Amino acid sequence: MSSSFWQSLPRQVWVFYHYPCNDGIFAATCAYLFFKKYSANVRFIPHKTYEAYSLEPKALEHVDTVFLLDYIGNGLVEELAKNTHTVIIDHHKTAISYLQTNPDQWSSYQIELYLDDQRSACGLAWNYFSNLSRHFFQQDLIDLQLAETHFLPILRAVQDADLWLWKEQGSKEIVSGLSQQLIEYDVNSNPQVFEELVHLTVDDLVSLGKLAIEENEKMILKELQNTFVIEPLPEHKFLAVMVDSHMARLRSELGNVLAKESEKCSLLPVAAVVYPIENKLKVEDTAMQVAL
């Protein structure tokens, strides 16, 4: 952390978070829990990675600090950090490489980096804001009992899923149950999103998740009947499938199952899931056991 900056708390803050994404919204919830402790003026901004953000002239004139949680945007870092202290909390290898390969290019920018590819953004954000909370307020972000019995187990499951590790007990059930809640992650459309996430219960999510997993497995098996072989490069053949927007929510799970099927067919252990998004077709590549 930048100790010189954090000698005092910012009064005007912007928080960009990756949307729509479990990791992004839980990272933003950590920021929410910290900033609700005092009367800072905070604006939360959900943002999609593939969209450019149009920054109005003088928009940041009175903003002390900007946070980028779980993504760095398309040219957004340069635009924000040239005049405003910008904290980047991220775990993506592409972002880490972009920000650390050539440190000299950032020497004139006001950047604070909190990067680690071994943890997801929400795990990093919890550590970052928890440390700040203990430093400034001598207390944890939220009540310890609530944190240990509800919020933190869910946050750990989200991190486990985002890193595709599946080491935490109940992660698959919790994350599947979370998807069944159908919570809108855009704070502009759903101002109560952070409070909703903090007060979720693990038992409820696990119960919902078990039912959802059974149904999802049936849907994935059905989609495997529609696969086809593609060869994007000579001698690089693997399976692909085109799905609708509803099935796209299971693209990671489907991609990993499909990659295994591709290997069984003596093809590369890779798969492609094609799905529509905002009048475009997006292709998500998946290598076996790894969500890319």
**What contacts 220, CB < 8 A, 6 or more positions away?**
250, 253, 254, 257
Domain identity same for 157 and 44: yes
Give the pLDDT confidence score for residue 42 in this predicted structure: 97
Amino acid at 5: F
Domain identity same for 160 and 34: yes
**What contacts 211, CB < 8 A, 6 or more positions away?**
180
Over the stretch 137-154, which tens digit does the pLDDT of each residue have? Answer: 999 999 888 898 999 999
Mean per-residue pLDDT over the chain, rounded? 91
Domain identity same for 151 and 23: yes
How confident is residue 289, by pLDDT bands cut at 50, 70 and 90? very low
Give the pLDDT confidence score for residue 4 in this predicted structure: 46
Domain identity same for 141 and 263: no
Instruction: Establish if 51 belongs to a structural domain.
Output: yes
Instruction: Establish if 251 belongs to a structural domain.
Output: yes
pLDDT at residue 290 tops 80:
no
* 140, two tokens: 């944890």
Domain identity same for 102 and 241: no
Over the stretch 164-175, which tens digit does the pLDDT of each residue have? Answer: 899 999 999 999
Phi, psi for 20 (deg, rounded to 5): -90, 120
Of 195 and 49, more confident: 195
Instruction: Establish if 184 belongs to a structural domain.
Output: no
Domain identity same for 164 and 235: no
Instruction: Establish if 177 belongs to a structural domain.
Output: no
| Domain membership of residue 272 as a residue range | 226-286
Domain identity same for 34 and 146: yes
Over the stretch 184-225, which tens digit does the pLDDT of each residue have? Answer: 999 999 999 999 999 999 999 999 999 999 999 999 999 999
Domain identity same for 231 and 160: no
Domain identity same for 230 and 164: no
What is the share, in percent, of the chain residues with pLDDT greater than 90?
75
Domain identity same for 160 and 93: yes
Instruction: Establish if 33 belongs to a structural domain.
Output: yes
Q: Final residue of a domain: which of 153, 168, 183?
A: 168
Domain identity same for 240 and 113: no
Domains in the chain, number: 2
For the segment 89-114, the average pLDDT, to the nearest whole number, is: 93
How confident is residue 288, by pLDDT bands cut at 50, 70 and 90? low
Question: What CA–CA distance (Å, rounded) separates 159 from 210?
Answer: 19
Q: Is 119 helix (H, G, I), strand (E, B) or coil?
A: coil
**What contacts 268, CB < 8 A, 6 or more positions away?**
236, 237, 238, 262
Instruction: Establish if 100 belongs to a structural domain.
Output: yes
CATH number for the domain harbouring residue 74: 3.90.1640.10
Give the pLDDT confidence score for residue 142 in this predicted structure: 92
Instruction: Establish if 36 belongs to a structural domain.
Output: yes
Question: Closest by alpha carbon to 197, among 167, 154, 236, 258?
Answer: 154
CA 247 remoteness from chain centre: 20
Q: Final residue of a domain: which of 168, 193, 211?
A: 168
How confident is residue 5, by pLDDT bands cut at 50, 70 and 90? low
Q: Final residue of a domain: which of 168, 184, 214?
A: 168
Residues in the chain: 292
Over the stretch 216-260, which tens digit does the pLDDT of each residue have? Answer: 999 999 999 999 999 988 989 999 999 998 898 888 889 999 999
Instruction: Establish if 235 belongs to a structural domain.
Output: yes
Give the pLDDT confidence score for residue 52 in this predicted structure: 80
Domain identity same for 50 and 151: yes
